[in-house]
Amino acid sequence: MIAQALSPISTSSRAADSAISLLDDIGNTPLLDLTDFAHSCGAQDNVQLFAKAEWANPGGSVKARAAFKIVEEAEADGRLGAGQILIDSSSGNTAIAYALVGAVRGFPVHLVMPKNVSRERKALVKAYGATLIESDPLEGSDGAIRMVRQIVAADPERYFYADQYNNDANWRAHYEGTGPEIWQQTQGRVSHFVAGLGTTGTFVGAGRFLREQSASAQLVAVQPEDELSVIEGLKYLPTAITPGIYAPSLVDRHMTVSAETAWDVTQALAREAGLFVGFSSGAAVAAAVQVAKELPLNSESVVVTLLPDDGSKYVSLGLFD
């Protein structure tokens, strides 16, 4: 079951244009019903589980929302002007989204990514015409952050540093889009929102909106179980550079997921629900199912999670073999 489609949530100057841009298709993603999957994993009969299919965005991930919002605001206030290069660090999906938006809007994009990101993600960034700069694979996303800061500091006038980890446009994209979509698609019945922490923009923005609509809504933040558990797209915040946009006061419950559990659920979603998703999606669903299993027998709860991307960018890693 897919929840009824909505008219676009966000409004901006682009809505006044008579021509339709590819970027107008960002957001308004389907809400998929994973209730049967949750029940097969032991969730209570009266609990429902839904998930936002974010690979439906242009560029194939949830990061299209934040990337476009960051660019829109920077163009509007002059931080991204003619002749400037957009630069940022990313482990993959935001890089692809920036490259796509740059191709549509007509500005150059430079992206710092750890050298060990998947071949597919590197190829997609280059396909959209962006310049790829590789950082030390052993330093992960934090190493990419440090490298991009050094590049910008050496020639600040050349670049617009998008800085997705500290740019409020990141969480506002979800406050204005993802959160209202979830609220409308569940007819205001969402009781638990479960999301992974990477840049933290999705959790903070959508969670903040849902909390304003319902004080009883439970916001669950998901991280890898430790710094050695590598789940693409998620951060283990106790040992990572904490994003400036993170709002820990919003979190009602912290949950951790092992890399093995994330992989097992990712595989199960493909084989039992027909959903070929990335590993951060598997981690989010694993946590959401655990929440659903713990709810009381008479619960009429509606648990909603978010699937950041599909599995196509991870095939070359061999983990699906």
Q: How do beta strands 109-114 and 131-135 pair?
A: parallel
d(CA 73, CA 227): 34
Among candidate residues 206, 207, 291, the one with its CA nearest the CA of residue 249:
207
Q: How far apart are the first and last CA of the chain?
A: 29
> How would you classify the pairing of strands 302-307 and 192-196?
parallel
Tell me which residue of 155, 145, 22, 146 sits closest to 84, measured CA to CA. Answer: 155
pLDDT of the residue at 19 = 62
- Angle (CA) 102-103-108 rounded to 5° is 50
Catalytic residue among 10, 52, 61, 63: 63
Q: 63 an active-site residue?
A: yes
pLDDT of 318 reads: 81
The ranges assigned to domains in the chain are 19-59+178-314, 63-161
Q: Indicate if 63-161 has the same CATH topology as 19-59+178-314.
A: yes
Instruction: Give the position of tokens 């690979």.
Output: 55
Q: What is the pLDDT along the chain (321 residues), one digit of tens a residue?
A: 445 444 344 434 444 444 678 999 999 999 999 999 999 999 988 999 999 999 999 999 999 999 999 999 999 999 999 999 999 999 889 999 999 999 999 999 999 999 988 899 999 999 999 999 999 998 988 999 999 999 999 999 999 999 999 999 999 999 999 999 999 999 999 999 999 999 999 999 999 999 999 999 999 999 999 988 989 889 999 999 999 999 999 999 999 999 999 999 999 999 999 999 999 999 999 999 999 999 987 778 999 999 999 999 999 888 787
d(CA 217, CA 94): 28
Annotate 30-65 with three-state secondary structure.
CEEECHHHHHHCCCCCCCEEEEEEHHHCCCCECHHH
The per-residue b/e assignment along 117-144, b for 16 or more CB within 10 angstroms, e otherwise, is bbebbbebbeebebebbebeeeebbbbb
| Domain with residues 63-161, CATH architecture | 3-Layer(aba) Sandwich (3.40)
Q: Give the 3-state secondary structure of residue 139.
A: helix
Token pair belonging to 57 = 């965005």
Residues 6+ apart with CB under 8 A from 176: 9, 10, 69, 205, 209
User: Measured between alpha carbons, how far is 120 from 141 in angstroms, rounded to an integer?
Assistant: 17
**Closest by alpha carbon to 288, among 28, 35, 57, 60?**
35
Name which of 320, 263, 254 is nearest 290 in CA terms: 254
Q: How many residues appear in the chain?
A: 321
The string of DSSP letters for 152-188 reads HHHSGGGEEE--TTT-HHHHHHIIIIIHHHHHHHTTT
Report whether 166 contacts 201 (CB < 8 A): no
Give the number of other Cβ atoms within 10 Å of residue 249's Cβ.
5
**What are 143-152's pLDDT values in tens digits?**
999 999 999 9
Alpha-carbon distances, residue 285 vs 41, 180, 267 (angstroms): 11, 21, 12
Distance CA 140, CA 198 (A): 12
280 has catalytic annotation: yes
CB of 227 closer than 8 Å to CB of 239 = yes
| Topology adopted by domain 19-59+178-314 | Rossmann fold (3.40.50)
Active-site annotation holder among 280, 281, 301, 313: 280
Starting at the edge strand that comes first in sequence, how are the strands of the sheet with 302-307 ordered?
31-33, 48-53, 302-307, 192-196, 218-224, 253-257
Main-chain phi, psi angles of 56, to 5 degrees: -75, -10
